[in-house]
Amino acid sequence: MQSLISRPWLWAWLAAIAVFALSIALSGAAQAGGLLYAALSFGAFAAIVGIGQMLVITLGPGNIDLSIPAVMTLAGTLALKAMDGAPGTALLGLGVALLVGLGCGAANFALIRLLRLPPIIATLAASLLYQSLAIWSNRGLRIKPPAALADFATGRTLACPTWR
Protein backbone atom coordinates (compact mmCIF):
# COMPACT_ATOMS: atom_id res chain seq x y z
CA MET A 1 0.00 0.00 0.00
CA GLN A 2 2.85 2.38 0.85
CA SER A 3 4.41 1.97 -2.59
CA LEU A 4 1.07 2.74 -4.24
CA ILE A 5 0.57 5.91 -2.20
CA SER A 6 4.05 7.12 -3.15
CA ARG A 7 3.21 7.00 -6.88
CA PRO A 8 2.72 10.58 -8.22
CA TRP A 9 0.37 9.47 -11.01
CA LEU A 10 -2.10 8.12 -8.45
CA TRP A 11 -2.68 11.57 -6.99
CA ALA A 12 -3.18 13.08 -10.44
CA TRP A 13 -5.83 10.45 -11.24
CA LEU A 14 -7.57 10.92 -7.91
CA ALA A 15 -7.61 14.69 -8.37
CA ALA A 16 -9.05 14.33 -11.88
CA ILE A 17 -11.78 11.98 -10.60
CA ALA A 18 -12.59 14.37 -7.75
CA VAL A 19 -12.85 17.36 -10.12
CA PHE A 20 -15.04 15.36 -12.50
CA ALA A 21 -17.32 14.26 -9.63
CA LEU A 22 -17.54 17.83 -8.33
CA SER A 23 -18.37 19.10 -11.82
CA ILE A 24 -21.16 16.54 -12.13
CA ALA A 25 -22.48 17.44 -8.67
CA LEU A 26 -22.54 21.15 -9.51
CA SER A 27 -23.95 20.86 -13.04
CA GLY A 28 -26.28 17.92 -12.54
CA ALA A 29 -25.97 14.31 -13.61
CA ALA A 30 -27.70 15.07 -16.94
CA GLN A 31 -24.62 17.02 -18.04
CA ALA A 32 -22.17 14.20 -17.24
CA GLY A 33 -22.17 12.75 -20.76
CA GLY A 34 -21.42 16.09 -22.40
CA LEU A 35 -18.74 16.82 -19.84
CA LEU A 36 -17.08 13.45 -20.40
CA TYR A 37 -17.25 13.89 -24.19
CA ALA A 38 -15.62 17.33 -23.97
CA ALA A 39 -12.92 16.01 -21.62
CA LEU A 40 -12.09 13.10 -23.94
CA SER A 41 -12.07 15.37 -27.01
CA PHE A 42 -9.70 17.88 -25.45
CA GLY A 43 -7.68 15.06 -23.90
CA ALA A 44 -6.84 13.69 -27.34
CA PHE A 45 -5.41 17.03 -28.44
CA ALA A 46 -3.59 17.46 -25.14
CA ALA A 47 -1.99 14.03 -25.58
CA ILE A 48 -0.78 14.92 -29.09
CA VAL A 49 0.65 18.22 -27.86
CA GLY A 50 2.18 16.46 -24.85
CA ILE A 51 3.98 14.00 -27.11
CA GLY A 52 5.33 16.89 -29.17
CA GLN A 53 6.49 18.72 -26.06
CA MET A 54 8.07 15.50 -24.78
CA LEU A 55 10.09 15.28 -28.00
CA VAL A 56 11.23 18.90 -27.58
CA ILE A 57 12.31 18.29 -24.00
CA THR A 58 13.95 14.89 -24.44
CA LEU A 59 15.67 15.35 -27.81
CA GLY A 60 17.39 18.57 -26.83
CA PRO A 61 19.10 19.81 -23.72
CA GLY A 62 15.78 19.81 -21.81
CA ASN A 63 14.25 22.96 -23.29
CA ILE A 64 10.55 23.73 -23.59
CA ASP A 65 8.52 25.23 -26.44
CA LEU A 66 5.99 27.79 -25.21
CA SER A 67 4.72 28.61 -28.71
CA ILE A 68 2.83 25.35 -29.34
CA PRO A 69 -0.69 26.65 -28.49
CA ALA A 70 -0.17 29.78 -30.61
CA VAL A 71 1.19 27.74 -33.54
CA MET A 72 -1.84 25.45 -33.32
CA THR A 73 -4.16 28.47 -33.32
CA LEU A 74 -2.42 30.08 -36.28
CA ALA A 75 -2.30 26.83 -38.24
CA GLY A 76 -5.97 26.14 -37.58
CA THR A 77 -7.03 29.67 -38.47
CA LEU A 78 -5.10 29.76 -41.73
CA ALA A 79 -6.18 26.23 -42.66
CA LEU A 80 -9.85 27.09 -42.13
CA LYS A 81 -9.45 30.24 -44.19
CA ALA A 82 -7.82 28.25 -47.00
CA MET A 83 -10.61 25.64 -46.95
CA ASP A 84 -13.36 28.29 -46.71
CA GLY A 85 -15.96 25.60 -45.99
CA ALA A 86 -15.72 24.17 -49.51
CA PRO A 87 -16.17 20.42 -49.82
CA GLY A 88 -13.11 18.35 -50.69
CA THR A 89 -10.60 20.84 -49.33
CA ALA A 90 -9.55 18.98 -46.17
CA LEU A 91 -6.21 17.96 -47.70
CA LEU A 92 -5.56 21.59 -48.66
CA GLY A 93 -6.25 22.60 -45.06
CA LEU A 94 -3.95 19.88 -43.78
CA GLY A 95 -1.21 21.06 -46.12
CA VAL A 96 -1.62 24.67 -45.00
CA ALA A 97 -1.53 23.64 -41.32
CA LEU A 98 1.62 21.56 -41.84
CA LEU A 99 3.34 24.38 -43.72
CA VAL A 100 2.45 26.85 -40.98
CA GLY A 101 3.82 24.45 -38.37
CA LEU A 102 7.03 23.94 -40.35
CA GLY A 103 7.42 27.67 -40.88
CA CYS A 104 6.92 28.45 -37.21
CA GLY A 105 9.33 25.68 -36.25
CA ALA A 106 11.95 27.09 -38.64
CA ALA A 107 11.41 30.58 -37.20
CA ASN A 108 11.82 29.25 -33.65
CA PHE A 109 14.97 27.41 -34.72
CA ALA A 110 16.35 30.61 -36.23
CA LEU A 111 15.64 32.58 -33.06
CA ILE A 112 17.34 29.96 -30.91
CA ARG A 113 20.32 29.01 -33.10
CA LEU A 114 21.07 32.11 -35.12
CA LEU A 115 20.26 34.77 -32.53
CA ARG A 116 21.36 32.51 -29.65
CA LEU A 117 18.29 33.32 -27.57
CA PRO A 118 17.39 30.97 -24.73
CA PRO A 119 14.65 28.64 -26.03
CA ILE A 120 12.13 29.61 -23.36
CA ILE A 121 12.51 33.32 -24.24
CA ALA A 122 12.54 32.74 -28.00
CA THR A 123 9.42 30.57 -28.01
CA LEU A 124 7.58 32.88 -25.60
CA ALA A 125 8.28 35.86 -27.87
CA ALA A 126 7.40 33.85 -30.96
CA SER A 127 4.16 32.76 -29.28
CA LEU A 128 3.09 36.39 -28.95
CA LEU A 129 3.87 36.96 -32.63
CA TYR A 130 2.02 33.82 -33.81
CA GLN A 131 -1.03 34.57 -31.65
CA SER A 132 -1.11 38.15 -32.94
CA LEU A 133 -0.93 36.88 -36.53
CA ALA A 134 -3.81 34.48 -35.86
CA ILE A 135 -5.96 37.26 -34.40
CA TRP A 136 -5.07 39.63 -37.23
CA SER A 137 -5.76 37.06 -39.95
CA ASN A 138 -9.08 36.03 -38.41
CA ARG A 139 -10.46 39.50 -37.69
CA GLY A 140 -13.58 38.04 -36.12
CA LEU A 141 -14.61 36.01 -39.16
CA ARG A 142 -16.67 32.89 -38.57
CA ILE A 143 -15.66 30.14 -40.97
CA LYS A 144 -17.10 26.64 -40.82
CA PRO A 145 -14.95 23.68 -41.78
CA PRO A 146 -16.02 21.47 -44.68
CA ALA A 147 -18.72 19.00 -43.63
CA ALA A 148 -16.47 15.95 -44.10
CA LEU A 149 -13.80 17.46 -41.84
CA ALA A 150 -16.39 18.39 -39.19
CA ASP A 151 -17.77 14.84 -39.26
CA PHE A 152 -14.24 13.43 -38.97
CA ALA A 153 -13.41 15.67 -36.00
CA THR A 154 -16.64 15.03 -34.11
CA GLY A 155 -17.13 11.30 -34.75
CA ARG A 156 -18.16 8.98 -31.95
CA THR A 157 -17.84 5.27 -31.29
CA LEU A 158 -19.73 3.87 -28.28
CA ALA A 159 -20.36 7.48 -27.16
CA CYS A 160 -16.59 8.15 -27.06
CA PRO A 161 -15.02 10.69 -29.40
CA THR A 162 -13.04 9.08 -32.19
CA TRP A 163 -11.58 9.91 -35.55
CA ARG A 164 -13.02 7.94 -38.39
Containing H/E element for 47? helix 32-59
Q: Do 90 and 138 have their domain in common?
A: yes
% of the chain residues with pLDDT over 90: 32
Angle at 66 between CA 104 and CA 73, to 5 degrees: 55
In a domain, 51, yes or no: no
Non-local CB neighbours of 54 within 8 Å, separated by 6+ positions: none
The SS3 call for residue 156 is strand
Residue 3 within any structural domain of the chain: yes
Instruction: Give the N- to C-terminal CA distance of the chain in Å, as an integer.
Output: 41
Please give the residue range of the domain that contains residue 126. 63-161
Number of domains in the chain: 2
Q: Is there a single domain that holds both residue 5 and residue 39?
A: yes
Q: Is residue 52 part of a domain?
A: no
Angstrom CA distances, 93 to 24, 90, 98, stand at 37, 5, 9
Mean pLDDT, range 112-120, rounded to an integer: 91
Is there a domain that residue 94 lies in? yes
Question: How many CB atoms neighbour CB 130 within 10 A?
Answer: 25
Q: Chain-wide mean pLDDT for the chain?
A: 84
**Percentage of the residues of the chain whose pLDDT score is greater than 70:** 91
Q: Tell me if 155 sits within 8 A of 161, measured CB to CB.
A: yes
Would the pTM of this model clear 0.85, i.e. be above it?
A: no
Residue 153 lies in a domain: yes
